[in-house]
Amino acid sequence: MEKIASCILGTILFTCLLLSCNTSPDKKMKSQICNVTQDDVDTTLLRQTFNELSERFDNLRPQVIKDPNGYLKHPYLIPAGFYNQLWDWDAFFMANHFISRGKPEYMKYWALTFIENIDEEGYVSGGMTTKGQRKVFGKFAMKPFLSQGIYHYSESVGDYSWVEPYYEKIVSILEYRKKTQYNKEFGLYFWEIAMQSGADNNPAMNYFKEDSRSFVCADASAFQYGELLAQSVIARELGKIEDAEIFKKAAEELKSNINKFLWNNEDKVYYNLDSDSKRQYRRVSYSSFVPLMYNIAPLEQGSETIDNHLINTDCMKAQYGFRSLSAKDVDYNNKNIIVPFSNWQGPVWPIANYIYSIALKNYGYDKEVVWLAQTLGNLLVDDIKEWGIMHENYHADTGLPLAPSSEHVDENGKFIGFISWNLCIQNVMEGVLEDKWMLLEIRE
C-alpha cells in the first residue's frame, strides 16, 4: 500500500509541476524558467524507447554511408532507401549526428566534397551523384550550411587549420549567395523556388517554376545568419580578424532585418514576405520557426510564437508530433507525396521536429521537448518494427507512415523506406535523458 500511495503522490506532484510551468517566461529571467528535467519525472518508458531506438539505429545507420565512387571522391552520406544521392542539408544533419556518435570525419568529408566542387562563380549544387552535380530546378545552389558544417567539425576535433587552404573558396560561396539570393531592399535572403529550400512544396513560398513570385524567407535568412556567425568564428580562428568582424556585423544586420521585416507583432510569428507586394505572406509553416533555432527572436517574442502557434493544437501541434504546416491553413493536408516533390503541407517530419526541439529548448519549453522525444521516439520505433526501416514523414493526425509508399520496393520486392536525418531524434531523446544535447549552437 505504501508503494501505491507513493506512486499516486508522485503522479499528483508531477501533474502539479507541469501545470505550474510558465510557458511565457520572464524575458529578463531565462535562467529561472520552469524546467521539467530527468530528475522530475519517471523516465522508465522514455528510457525503454530510447534504448530500443538506439539499438535499431545501430543496425540502420551504416546504410547511409557510401564509399567514394565516381564524381564523389570522399565517403558520403545518403538518405538511404528511396534516395541514393548526396543532398546538402540531409547530409549536414546526418553528419552532425555522426559527430555525436564519435565519428566527426563524415562532416569533414561532406564539407570537402562541396568545397572542392565550388566553381569560379562560387556556385556548387545542393545535390550530387556519382556522375556529377544535380543542377535541377534552376541551378539549385547549395543551401546555407557549409560554414556551419565546417564550424561543427572543427569544434569537435579542436582544429581549424585544415580549412586554411580552402578559405577563399568558402568565402566565394557566401558571396555567390549574396549575389544571387539576396534582396537588397529588405537585407534578407530568398530561395528561387520552394524546392530549393528542401521544404519542397511549402505553400508559404512559390514551389512551381512557373510561379514568378519571389519571397524573402524566414528559413533562408535564418540559415544564412548561422552561416555568417560560423564564418566569423572560422575567420577568427585562422587569424583573419578583419574578416571575422565583417562577417559578425553582417550576421547582426541580418538578424535585425529578420526581426524588422518578417516578425508580425499582431500574429506573434515570423512570416515570409512577398518581394513584389512588399507585404508579409501570412501563412504559418515550418519556415516560421527556423529563426528560433538560432535564438533570433528575443525571449518574449520566441515564447509568444511557441505559445500561439507551435504548441497550439489548432495550429502546429498534432497527436503524433509537430506539423509542417498549420492545421488552420487552407492547404493543410497529409497526402502521401514523394514525386515530384515531398509533402511539407502538414505531415510530421522528424527533421522539422528536431529543429523545433532546438527552438523549444532555446526558449525554455523543456516539458514540450520531453513530449516530442517520447512521441517521435515511439513513432519511429513502431515504424521500424513494422517495416524494418523508416519513412520520411508521417500523417500528423493518425501517425500512419506516408512517403515512400509501400509500392516502392527494391529488385527483391523489399520495401526500400528512408534513413536520413530521422537519426537526429536519437539526439533529442539523449538530450532529455542524459543532458547530451545537439543544439547546433555557434559560439560568439
Share of the chain above pLDDT 70, in %: 90
Q: With cut-offs at 50, 70 and 90, classify the pLDDT of residue 418.
A: very high
Strand partners, 394: 348, 401
Cβ-based neighbour number of residue 330 at 10 Å: 8
Cell numbers at residue 292, please? Answer: 528560433
Q: Is the pLDDT of residue 10 over 70?
A: no
Q: Is the pLDDT higher at 241 or at 83?
A: 241
Average pLDDT, the chain: 90
Q: What is the reported pLDDT for 137? A: 64
Q: Are 95 and 424 in contact (CB under 8 A)?
A: no
Residue for cell digits 519542397?
200
The DSSP call for residue 165 is G
Distance CA 361, CA 367 (A): 9
Q: Is the pLDDT higher at 42 or at 4?
A: 42
pLDDT digits (tens, 9 = 90+) for 282-339: 999 999 999 999 999 999 999 999 999 999 999 999 999 999 999 999 999 999 998 8
- Concatenating the DSSP letter of every residue in 335-403 gives ----SSS---SS-B-HHHHHHHHHHHHHTT-HHHHHHHHHHHHHHHHHHHHHHSSB-S-B-TTT--B-S
Q: Is the pLDDT of residue 414 over 70?
A: yes
Residue for cell digits 562532416?
107
Q: Are 340 and 319 in contact (CB under 8 A)?
A: no
Q: What is the reported pLDDT for 35? A: 38
Distance CA 376, CA 368 (A): 12
- In terms of Cβ atoms closer than 10 Å to its own Cβ (0-12, 13-18, 19+), residue 179 is exposed
Residue for cell digits 544533419?
93
Q: Is the pLDDT of residue 394 over 60?
A: yes
Q: Are 123 and 134 in contact (CB under 8 A)?
A: no
Phi-psi map region of 268: left, alpha, beta (phi>0 left; psi -120 to 50 alpha)? left
Q: What is the reported pLDDT for 232? A: 98
pLDDT digits (tens, 9 = 90+) for 126-168: 999 999 998 776 678 999 999 999 999 999 999 999 999 999 9
Q: With cut-offs at 50, 70 and 90, classify the pLDDT of residue 89.
A: very high
Give the pTM. Answer: 0.90
The whole-number average pLDDT for the span 188-213 is: 89
Cell numbers at residue 51, please? Answer: 534504448
Which residues are CB-neighbours of 329 under 8 A, at least 6 positions away?
203, 283, 284, 285, 345
Distance CA 56, CA 50 (A): 10
Q: What is the reported pLDDT for 138? A: 66
